[in-house]
Structure 1
Amino acid sequence: MTTNADTIGMMTFHASHNNGSMLQALALQHILENHFHQKTELIDFSNQGQRNMYAPVPKPKNWKQAIKSLIWSTNMSQMKHQYDSYEAFEKRYFHMSSDTYSSIEELKPLADKYKAFITGSDQVWNIKCIDADDAYYLSFVKDRPKFAYAVSFGANNPFILEGDTKRYENYLEHFDKISVREKNAQKWIKEATGVEVPICLDPTMLLDESEWEQLVDVGDTPVISGDYIFYYCFSITEEVQHFLKSISKKTGMPVYFMEAKEWTLKMCWRNDIRLIRSYGPDVYMNVVKHAKLFVTSSFHGTAFGTIYRKNFWYIRSKHSESSLDDRASSFLTQLGLMSRYRTIAELSALDLFEPVDYTQLPDKLEPLRIHSFEYLQSVVDSLN
């Protein structure tokens, strides 16, 4: 096998057809290459769970999934269009390995191909997600430097698995440097290993609006004409749909959603929620940029809401209590924007067009960026 002795191999969720996952992968690759002058290559790894999850119509494993597949097939043109849009973005923007991989066994020959390996950011250490894989803990690498940048466990502590409590501790022992994205991750690693690792910004936040638009072509004109409300999340509940419908009635503005599978499955047209019918991270950035009101339940919704200085609200639910999952609350606390983190009941009583106070954001964000760049500099220095 040809070696890339001067190249860093990257492992992350770059192949997820998810805007945040793909944009954070692009940001980290761009920063390593353009700020730190490191050659990088995204290892084109995507396990079978991930490939099936993002297939135009996933193969069902039980009768419930079979019903979902039947519903999705009623909107097959949009399923295929969405899939093709993310594949096109990946091919256009990423610097990837020439070969593709779907298992740790296939990755093992790469163990000495690169000068070093880096995993992260995103929820690559979330052991409960459908595309979870020990490969993202770089378990296949033996004799090369290993780093983790702003990794997230999601809401799942991997160190309390019954009967296997040392597995992930052993993985972490072999890393040269680790940084995480949230306080929970920092706390769990300290409890398990005794080591306090730094918290770094998600890579998307290391670029400002102008840098992003030099990197990604978001288009010169809005994808959606006129004033509109954009709701961004991978999923959408009936409660959220009713709330969005009520906002639409009050404001006279349509609500748009861009996840074709979820829109079809949850029959969002019943609540007058429109499908954008254009897809991909570039479209996502365009729609955030031009939205009159931006509502999200996604970490990377808050990220790009702040990058574009939008009037945004994060819907707080039982799945995002800070005691359980601090992905959004930790980030908004860092930026002094927790006033935008609300339940539907709270949002229903607020003036949703109350502007976000961004006056303190530069002072809050700059030290975090400096800290994150210093961490990446320490990674590069250790290789030199």
Structure 2
Amino acid sequence: MDKIGILTFHYSNNYGGVLQAIALQNTLIELGYDVEVINYIPQNYKPYNIIGNLGIRKNIFLNKLNNLNIFNMSKKIKIMNKYCDSIINKFNIYREKNMCLSEQVDEDSLLSILNNYSAIIVGSDQVWNPSQRKSPIYFLDFVDKYKGKKISYAPDSTIKDVNNEDLSRLNKALSEFNYISVRNDHSNEFVKTVINKEVEIVADPTLLYDFENVEKARDEEHEYILTYVLGKEINGSHNKAIEKIRNKYGNIPVYSIKIPTMNFEFSHFADKVFYDLNPDEWISMFRNAKFIYTDSFHGVLFSLKYHKPFLAYYTEKLRATRFIDLGKRYGIDKYIVQNISDIDDNKLLDILPDFNTIDKIIDLQKESSLKFLSKALSE
């Protein structure tokens, strides 16, 4: 049987990135294909990339430990390294267990394995974001060195705008794709700008796959509000947002999940912080929460998936596009805000999302997405 390769952001210690890769892999297996996640890891990638052994994130972390009256510097560093090493190890074990991985390759060795695959699927995740557009990797721009089929599944361009200096090269690369799909309107506009072509908008892979057999997370026996925050604080403060949620849902514990590549610091608004959950435990925390507060794209999708009332927000420009699209696509605009005043104005804590309608939208999108994959791989 011909083998399909998936080329995506599978390697970072990020829950959404890992789970979307596994979801696409397992969806293709369910469709009857032999699949591998191409284990491409850029040469400049480091698991401590943003924390940095001497970087700003480490300084933030140490300052937070100062506030906990841990005065011994060696003890602070030991605590920090413990959490960092634990989460990185858990992600590595999870990938090895759940991904069908190729041999590890980088920019120099990727070409040596490309023709092991009759088709390569690029995506999902933000593989076409501006930081990737000068690299050939996620645009499969390998001149004539790859002979198989080129497909994209639900990549996100982050923004629709394209620099003129990149336009010609991107036009050549995307014109050579056999099938293109994206995951939102602004990515469709990006493709249209580059090759003047409307393409299909499909569901994120995490909506295609059930994730039925997941490991149970720790400390989820009782009711709790779950927070999963990756970026900047909401306008008006997290404390006020959590206060409003608790006024509605009761004075129950607030749990916070962190990842080392993002907002790795103690959450002053949380009763308990989880630094080293594996992806199954992350899913379990979402599945069992009473309410979810997040600025994460996949945080919203898993809230919808498990019918959880939620409050999502964005403050940064680069996060805005994906949340605006989510609001429009699933009819959840009122539950996605930019500041504290929107919570009361939208009365979002008083009315539950219409999960029956949302399920119907997802089912239709899932059906068309599976048809896209089947057609792209069979023709």
Global fold match (TM > 0.5) = yes
Q: Is 1:381 aligned with 2:375?
A: no
Secondary structure of 1:101's partner? coil
In structure 2, the CA distance between the partners of 1:147 and 1:265, relative to structure 1 (3 Å rule), is closer
Deviation at 1:128, TM superposition (A): 2.6
Match of 1:44 among 39, 47, 52: 39
Secondary structure of 2:137's partner? helix
Q: Which AA in structure 2 matches 1:89?
A: Y
Q: Which AA in structure 2 matches 1:217?
A: V
Q: Deviations over 1:126-165 (max 9, x none)?
A: 1237x995311122353211110011111363xx324332
Equivalent position of 1:333 in the other structure: 328
Q: Which AA in structure 2 matches 1:306?
A: L
1:64-213 alignment, distance < 5 Å: 64=56, 67=59, 73=77, 75-97=80-102, 99-103=103-107, 105-128=108-131, 133-140=135-142, 142-155=146-159, 157=161, 160-207=162-209, 211-213=210-212
Deviation at 1:263, TM superposition (A): 8.7
Q: Which AA in structure 2 matches 1:357?
A: D
Whether contact under 8 Å (2:61, 2:265) holds in the other structure is no
Equivalent position of 1:346 in the other structure: 342
In structure 2, the CA distance between the partners of 1:113 and 1:262, relative to structure 1 (3 Å rule), is closer
Deviation at 1:28, TM superposition (A): 0.7
Q: Which AA in structure 1 matches 2:168?
A: K
Equivalent position of 1:366 in the other structure: 363
Larger CA deviation: 352-361 vs 307-316 = 352-361
Q: Which AA in structure 2 matches 1:254?
A: P
Secondary structure of 1:100's partner? coil
Whether contact under 8 Å (1:32, 1:40) holds in the other structure is yes
2: distance between equivalents of 1:223 and 1:44?
A: 34
1: distance between equivalents of 2:139 and 2:264?
A: 33
Equivalent position of 2:307 in the other structure: 309
Whether contact under 8 Å (1:222, 1:286) holds in the other structure is no
In structure 2, the CA distance between the partners of 1:41 and 1:263, relative to structure 1 (3 Å rule), is closer
1: distance between equivalents of 2:222 and 2:134?
A: 40
Secondary structure of 1:114's partner? coil
Q: Is 1:258 aligned with 2:252?
A: no
Q: How many residues align?
A: 359
- The alignment's C-alpha RMSD in Å is 2.8
Q: Which runs of no fewer than 5 residues in structure 1 stay unpaired?
A: none
2: distance between equivalents of 1:13 and 1:262?
A: 13
In structure 2, the CA distance between the partners of 1:318 and 1:94, relative to structure 1 (3 Å rule), is closer
Q: Deviations over 1:176-230 (max 9, x none)?
A: 11100010111121122111111011011113xxx321xx4233x7643322111
Identity percentage of aligned residues: 23
Deviation at 1:265, TM superposition (A): 5.0
Q: Deviations over 1:320-345 (max 9, x none)?
A: 68xxx431232332222222112322
Secondary structure of 2:165's partner? coil
2: distance between equivalents of 1:205 and 1:10?
A: 17
Q: Which AA in structure 2 matches 1:199?
A: I
Equivalent position of 1:10 in the other structure: 6
Secondary structure of 2:36's partner? strand
Equivalent position of 1:284 in the other structure: 282
1: distance between equivalents of 2:194 and 2:262?
A: 41
Match of 2:16 among 20, 39, 42: 20
2: distance between equivalents of 1:17 and 1:379?
A: 30
In structure 2, the CA distance between the partners of 1:194 and 1:225, relative to structure 1 (3 Å rule), is same
2: distance between equivalents of 1:285 and 1:148?
A: 26
TM normalised by structure 2 equals: 0.85
Q: Deviations over 1:233-264 (max 9, x none)?
A: 32353754333453476432222221154798
Q: Which runs of no fewer than 5 residues in structure 2 stay unpaired?
A: 64-75
1: distance between equivalents of 2:160 and 2:28?
A: 29
Deviation at 1:116, TM superposition (A): 1.5
In structure 2, the CA distance between the partners of 1:316 and 1:263, relative to structure 1 (3 Å rule), is closer
2: distance between equivalents of 1:262 and 1:367?
A: 34
Larger CA deviation: 232-241 vs 358-367 = 232-241
Whether contact under 8 Å (1:124, 1:153) holds in the other structure is yes
Q: Is 1:268 aligned with 2:267?
A: yes
1: distance between equivalents of 2:85 and 2:148?
A: 40
